[in-house]
Amino acid sequence: MKNSINTILKTSQLSVTTNRIKILELFQNSGNALSHADIEKLSGKHFDRVTIYRTLQTFVDKGIIHTIPTADNSIMYALCKEACTSGHHHDDHVHFICEVCGSTYCLDNISLPQVNVPKGFSINQTNILVHGVCKNCK
Amino acid sequence: MKNSINTILKTSQLSVTTNRIKILELFQNSGNALSHADIEKLSGKHFDRVTIYRTLQTFVDKGIIHTIPTADNSIMYALCKEACTSGHHHDDHVHFICEVCGSTYCLDNISLPQVNVPKGFSINQTNILVHGVCKNCK
DNA sequence: GTAACTGCAAAATATTTGCATCCTT
DNA sequence: AAGGATGCAAATATTTTGCAGTTAC
């Protein structure tokens, strides 16, 4: 696991630092999306707020994580799949937010539905956000 | 037009005040979604930031406007349709953001696609956000 | 050794709250 | 007249920036 994190950072031409490893580990261990506040909490306040801001921004820029727009307008971050590269995100998957436990899932395996738009409109990117109850809270 | 605004406020049991009328007029005239900053700009700074915060919040609570989660995590607001009532929003329509002019459209007439979720997950609300180019910018 | 990363301080921004005053009903 | 709405001031919270010290390569 340590190895794959190493690879991710190296591939993105980023220095392998303690902070970046820890933050990536948090994402891998949690399995779903995290907010800035989540990271602060989970890390046990071991690193600076500013560092978290900068690290998350760097990861987004490099295509390591992506942001998820949520209905309450808090910002969530989640690991990208291989398809994402620096400057080119491909996160057209469905995001699911559980209203009970608050977990945010990236449903990568769900087929993306076809969205119709009016004549003259062209689609570049589609974001789908579903609120409901997840299988653990049912 | 003045009349319908009056009706909206009365129906929601809100006092009909100059500020509220002006803000609702901005929404009606613009035709698409506005951010807090848009309202500040469009109003010519005639009223206080705080008043805008409180007015928008009140309108959301009463089901007059709804928020739109955008990919860059800025908060947009748009007028609700008749179906929305206090505490019960029904804004499951598609939102379209033009990457050229930045306008946000509520595509009410577009049929909502069926989203599949894994076994054990149940859906309460679906938000669809499409980025692309609108017909005016094509 | 050099460039990149981090942490602290501080600045800039955004949002919320309290309260006295004004406006709607 | 009474209750709600507004504006100002101030308290909080959030995000950004500058810079000096530290770490990775």
Give distance CA B59 / C1' C22 (Å): 22
For the segment B118-129, the average pLDDT, to the nearest whole number, is: 91
> Closest partner residue to A73 among B67, B114, B119, by Cβ?
B67
- pLDDT grade, residue B59 (50/70/90)? very high
Q: Do A129 and B126 touch (CB under 8 A)?
A: yes
More confident residue, B116 or B88: B116
**Residue A56 main-chain phi, psi, to 5 deg:** -60, -45
Give residue B134's pLDDT: 95
Give residue A65's pLDDT: 95
Domain residue extents for chain B: 2-132
Judged by a CB distance cut-off of 8 A, whether residue A88 touches chain B is no
User: Which percentage of chain B shows pLDDT scores above 90?
Assistant: 59
At A128, the amino acid letter reads I
* CATH class of domain segment(s) A2-132: mainly alpha
Q: Do A130 and B130 touch (CB under 8 A)?
A: no
Mean pLDDT of all residues belonging to chain B:
88
Judged by a CB distance cut-off of 8 A, whether residue B100 touches chain A is no
Q: How far B69 CA sits from the closest chain A CA (Å)?
A: 5
Q: Do B123 and A131 touch (CB under 8 A)?
A: yes
**Residue B114 main-chain phi, psi, to 5 deg:** -80, 125
Q: Which of A58, A124, A133, A60 is nearest to A92 (CA)?
A: A124
Q: Could you tell me how far CA A23 lies from the centroid of its own chain?
A: 12
User: Which percentage of chain A shows pLDDT scores above 90?
Assistant: 58
Contact A22, A46 (CB under 8 A): yes
Give residue A73's pLDDT: 74
- pLDDT grade, residue A111 (50/70/90)? confident
Give distance CA A50 / C1' C12 (Å): 15
- pLDDT grade, residue B47 (50/70/90)? confident
Judged by a CB distance cut-off of 8 A, whether residue A107 touches chain B is yes
In whole angstroms, what is the distance from residue B130 CA to residue B112 CA? 12
For the segment A96-115, the average pLDDT, to the nearest whole number, is: 87
Residue A68 burial (10 A CB sphere; 0-12, 13-18, 19+): buried
Q: Summarize pLDDT for A18-77 with one digit per residue, the tens.
A: 999 999 999 999 988 999 999 999 988 788 999 999 999 999 999 999 999 887 778 999
Q: Which of B72, B138, B80 is nearest to B106 (CA)?
A: B80
Q: How far B111 CA sits from the closest chain A CA (Å)?
A: 7
Sheet holding A34-35, edge to edge: A34-35, A75-79, A65-69
Give chain B's end-to-end CA distance (angstroms, integer).
Answer: 31
Judged by a CB distance cut-off of 8 A, whether residue A123 touches chain B is yes
Q: Summarize pLDDT for B72-84 with one digit per residue, the tens.
A: 778 999 998 765 5
Contact B134, A121 (CB under 8 A): yes
What protein residues sit with their CB closer than 7 Å to strand D?
A 10, 15-18, 36-37, 49-50, 53-54, 57, 75; B 14-15, 17-20, 47-48, 50-51, 54-55, 58
List helix spans (H) across B31-124. Answer: 36-42, 49-62
In whole angstroms, what is the distance from residue A90 CA to residue A131 CA? 21
Contact B134, B96 (CB under 8 A): yes
Give residue B2's pLDDT: 55
